[in-house]
Structure 1
Amino acid sequence: MSKKLLDDTSKFLSYVLRHEPQAIGLSLDSEGWAGIAELIEAASRDGRSLSRELLEQVVHTNEKKRFSFSEDGQHIRAVQGHSNQGVQLQLDERQPPAVLYHGTATRFIESINQKGLIPGSRHHVHLSEQLETAREVGQRYGKVVILKINTSKMLAQGFKFYQAQNGVWLTEQVPAQFLEAI
C-alpha cells in the first residue's frame, strides 16, 4: 500500500474517530470505539473505500500509534485527542516524569502566559516526555517554542496526569506558573 493512501486514511480516521463521526453517519460508544464493519460501511456511503487490511496497516504502521483495535478485533478507536463530547476515555491516573514538554508556536505564547495550556476543543492538554516530539508538534503551527512543564510541582498541588496507549501524556490544564519556555 502506498504511503499516500496510508497517510490519507490516517487523516480520515483522525477526523471521524476523534472529532466528527457523525460526518459519515458513524456512532462511537462512550469509550470512542466504532465497529469496524460499521466504519467500513459508513465510509463507503461517504465515497471512501476502506478495508480491514487497510485499517490494520494504518493501525500497525502509524508512527504516532494514534489508533488501536479492541481485544476482540471487532472495534477501532483513536487512543487520544478526542474533541467529541460523547467520548470520555476511561484513563488510569499515572505518575509522570518530573518534567514534560509541550511544543507550540510563538504566536500563542502571550495567551499561554495568561491562561496556561488549556485543551481547547479537546478533552486534555497533550504533553511529551521527549523534547524532539514537542518540537515536531510545535513546528506544525509556526515558529516553535518548547515549554517545559514542572509536573512535580503540579502533582504536589493535586493535578492529575494520564498516559494514552501511544505514550502521550494528558492533563486537564497546565497553569502558567508551571511553564517555562526553553
Structure 2
Amino acid sequence: MDQKRRKNISKFLSLILRHSPETIGLQLDEQGWADVPELMGKAARRGQRFNMEELLEVVAECEKQRFALNEDHTRIRANQGHSVNVELALEVATPPEYLYHGTVGKFMQAIREEGLLKMSRHHVHLSEQRDTATAVGARRGLPVILTVHSGRMFRDGIPFFRSANNVWLTDHVPVKYIAF
C-alpha cells in the first residue's frame, strides 16, 4: 500500500475511533474498542473501503502507534487522544523528571496564564523526546517546545498516565511547572 493511502486510512481511523464514531453509525464500548468487521462494513458503506491486510498495515506502520488491536484482531481502538467519552483503564505511572509539549506561538499567552489544558481531549499530551514535541508543534506552524517539570508535578501529587504508545498524559499542567 502506498504512503498516501495508508495516511488516508489512518486519518479516517483517528476520526472514527477518537472523535466521531457516530459519523458512520459505530458504537465504541466503554474502553473505546470497536468491532473490526463492523467498523470495516460501516466504513465501506460511507465510501471508505479497506481490507484486513490494509488495516493491519496501518496499525503496524503508524509511526505514532495510534491504534491497538486485540490478540485475535477482532477489536480495535485508539491508544489516546479521544474527545469522546471512553475509559482507557490507564494506570498511574511515574514520569521522567522532564517531559515536553509542542505548541505554536499563538497559544503562548493563554498557556502563560492558564498552563496546559486538555481542551476537548481527555488529557494533556506530553512526550519524552524534544523531537517528538517539535513534530507535534510543527503540524500547526513554527513550533514552540515547552519543558514540563513532570517529576516535580508527580511528587506534588499530580497523577500521570502512560498510553500504550508511550504518550504521557495528565489532566492539566499548571503554569508553575512549565519552563518557558
* Bucket of the pairwise TM-score, normalised by the shorter protein: over 0.9
What secondary structure does 1:77 align onto?
strand
When the two structures are superposed, what TM-score results if normalisation uses the length of structure 2?
A: 0.98
For 1:30 and 1:50, locate their aligned partners in 2 and report how far apart those are by CA, in whole Å: 25
Amino acid at match of 1:71: E
Q: TM-score normalised to the size of structure 1?
A: 0.97
Q: Tell me the SS of whatever aligns to 1:114.
A: helix
Runs of 4+ in 1 over 2 A off after TM superposition: none
Instruction: State how far apart, in whole Å, the 1-side matches of 2:169 and 2:163 are.
Output: 7
Corresponding letter in the other structure for 1:134 = A
Shift of 1:92: 1.0
Distance in 1 separating the partners of 2:61 and 2:43: 21
Rounded Cα–Cα distance in structure 2 between residues aligned with 1:140 and 1:5: 20
Q: Which runs of 5+ in 1 are unaligned?
A: none
Matches of 1:71 and 1:126, distance apart in 2:
27
Distance 1:113 1:72 in 2: 46
What is the Cα deviation at residue 25 of structure 1? 0.5
Distance in 2 between the 1:70 and 1:92 partners? 19
Alpha-carbon shift at residue 72 of structure 1 (Å): 2.9
1:71 offset after TM fit, Å?
A: 2.3
CA distance in 1, matches of 2:40, 2:112: 44
Pairing of 1:148-163 with structure 2 (within 5 A): 148-163=147-162
Q: Hey, what does 1:23 align to over in structure 2? A: 23
5 Å-filtered alignment, 1:25-174, equals 25-85=25-85, 87-174=86-173
State the SS of the aligned residue for 2:102: strand
RMSD, matched Cα: 0.8
CA distance in 2, matches of 1:79, 1:113: 29
Tell me the secondary structure at the aligned position of residue 146 of structure 2. strand
Distance in 2 of aligned mates of 1:12 and 1:22: 13
Alpha-carbon distance in 2 for matches of 1:117, 1:141:
17
Counterpart Cα distance in 2 of 1:82 and 1:68: 14
- Percentage of matched positions with identical amino acids: 47
- 1:5 alignment counterpart: 5
* Paired residue type of 2:100: Y
Per-residue CA deviation, residues 49-96 of structure 1 (Å, 9 max, x unaligned), is 1211111000011111000101232100100000002x1211011111
2-structure distance, mates of 1:167, 1:121 = 20
Aligned residues: 180
Stretches of structure 2 that go unaligned for 5 or more consecutive residues are none
Letter in 1 for 2:36: I
